[in-house]
Amino acid sequence: MSEKTNEFLKNRLSEEDYRKLLAIDKPEMHEFVADYIELCNPDGIFVATDSPDDIRYVREAAIRNGEEDRLTIREHTIHFDGYYDQARDKARTKFLVRSGVDLGPNLNTIDKEKGEREIREILKDIMSGHELYVRFFCLGPVNSEFSIPCVQLTDSAYVAHSEDLLYRRGYEEFKHRGRSARFFKFVHSAGELDERMVSKNIDKRRIYIDCEGAIVYSVNTQYGGNTIGLKKPAMRLAIHRAQKEGWLNEHMLVVAVHGPNNRKTFFTGAFPSLCGKTSTAMIPEESIVGDDISYIRKRGDKAYAVNVEAGIFGIIMGINSKDDPITWEALHSPNEIIFSNVLVTEDKGVYWIGKDGKMPRKGINHSGEWTPGKRDAEGNEITPSHKNARFTTALKDLKNADPRLHDPDGVELSGVIYGGRDSDTCVPVLEAFDWTHGIITKGASLESETTAATLGKEGVRKFNPMSNLDFLSVPIGKYIDMNLKFGSSMKKPPRIFGVNYFLKDEGGNFTNEKTDKKVWLKWMELRVHDEVGAIKTPTGYIPRYEDLKKLFREVLNKDYSRDDYVKQFTIRVPENLAKIDRIKKIYETTVANTPPVLFEVLKGERERLVKAREKYGDYITPDRWEGER
């Protein structure tokens, strides 16, 4: 650290905060903090360590400054974002890239010099009148090869409080690593606030990502998806680093499936929104390591995963006591929880769309005072809670949290699951032939259908490779190649499975019950240990009827008919061929540098399906296939 920087920090920080900052022997971090203190010009600065007193100070600051308010249940608070600041701002989320760098048509970019100049102009004196919180966190467990230390500068106590629940504290990790720390940097300001203490100038909302400099800027916004830098913005930084170092950062849950004789088998899983990701992670009979983001590394000839986070920033709409018993119990316990953009009732309780009980007749929500039928300036009816309303809580407060949640070694991966919302093509559960086949036909070919209730026109298929399209920082072709190389270098990589909880019959009725996913998970657990056979089809291995019949009785205590089995596991050749054609066209026309093997594998799948159709017809029931593994 230069003498000039040292003098500046001495003058701007209290003696105690200066001491806390300088206890970390990382001059690069000191220069970063000093630069943005000078640029943003806050009235006050608080440097937080991992101590309970410092954490409490930040939590209470969110109450003092009006970003949060207390609710009836102890440790519960409410936060409101601005009415038009309720989701990730994709249009204004951009990568800062140098001239000549092309990330492909799917990634939003801006010239690095131009973007830095613009963001610094917006940040100039933006924290005047605010207190700046200097926070230290760790992505992944502390004291681990997975760990990435992070420093967050924010003038929002709500953002800092949220990160206390979502991430491991990293001050001691920074001290431990000292000059060897390779850290991520985050700068956030909510900007000018209105009378409700929400961001006012959302026309100047910006989320800029500099992968080269390992820094994320977020300004004039409070919504967590834009401001909690360690969440999805940090995924871009980590994918960029992982691509260079040979590991993976995936948009995946990590769950332990409990097998025979107290065995636990760990899976990761990628599901686009509204495709069953949370419900899979939260099955009561299993245990959760993570619900959203994972780092995956090779050690020897095995793959290991950690949950990047330590908490949940979850969508609350639809959570009820019947379908979500564990989450429901947590949301009604005196654990530390931040509710955002739900309805606050007169007795300081909360209500959200889909909650048990009657809808209140009035309350306070993200639009201010609310009563049924209220409309916004555009004439749209305002629901009691926003459809993207959230809850933030620590995973440790869920009764199904796995004991290895914070294991610095990670958990050994036996399987990878890809699941989309698909009404007419894929069977409920299927195992890929091998890693390459799985990555290409399950991961890189992942699609999800929109639903009329929440996303507009029903049945539109959205291409979303590995459920990670929105968070990539490298071109899609390179990302697919990263995944292929990761597993192909192992003698026995994790098995890859595809699941589909949304298959419908000819009458438009779902062929699955909501609880059937418990059986699919148990079957996958047995498969990776080679304890059940399977039937080979052109698209992968499907379960045998007798194995599923036994599992339905053991897991759900119900009969499983052969008619249901045939309905669910018939291979629908025309629909599968149509999907291959769609995916092939996307990679031919919109993705640069697609690995050639992708087209080879899709061609092989098409040829197998055509051959099978010539022999058996368009719709091939499971009894037609011969041979098993």
Catalytic residues: 275
- The reply to whether 438 sits in an annotated binding site is no
Residue 389, marked binder: yes
Radius of gyration of the chain (CA): 25
User: Any binding-site annotation on 421?
Assistant: yes
Longest CA pairwise span in the chain (Å): 82
The Cα–Cα gap between 156 and 222 comes to 8
With CA atoms as reference, report the closest residue to 497 among 516, 469, 522, 472. 522
Give the whole-angstrom CA distance, residue 605 versus residue 607: 5
Known binding residue 582? Answer is no
Closest CA to 204 of 128, 124, 122: 122
- Owner of token pair 């003696």: 15
Sign of the alpha-carbon dihedral angle for 457, 511, 530, 146:
positive
Distance of CA 400 to the CA centre of its chain: 19
Confirm whether residue 251 is marked as ligand binding: yes
Q: Name the nearest CA neighbour of 278 among 250, 319, 309.
A: 319
Is beta strand 168-169 parallel, antiparallel or unpaired with respect to 248-250? unpaired
Question: Is 507 flagged in the annotation as binding?
Answer: no
Strand locations in 122-167 (E): 131-139, 148-154
CA distance 629 to 527: 10
Beta-strand runs (E) in 385-544: 390-394, 411-419, 429-431, 447-449, 461-463, 495-499, 535-537, 540-542
258 is in an annotated binding site: no
Q: Which residues of 144-178 are buried (b: 16+ CB within 10 A; e: fewer)?
A: bebbbbbbbbbbbbbbbbbbbbbbbbbbbbbbebe
Residue 426 in contact with residue 279, Cβ under 8 Å?
no
Q: What share of the chain is helix, strand, coil (3-state, %, to 5)?
A: 35, 25, 40
Binding residue per annotation — 218? no
The tokens for 351 are 């209500």
Quickly list DSSP for 153-165: EES-HHHHHHHHH
Residue closest to 207 by CA, chosen among 185, 192, 229: 229
292 is in an annotated binding site: yes
- Residue 181 CB contacts under 8 Å (≥ 6 apart), including other chains: 26, 29, 149, 173, 174
Encoded tokens for 398: 């869920």
Binding residues for Mn(2+): 232, 251, 292
Binding residues for substrate: 88, 223-225, 273, 388-390
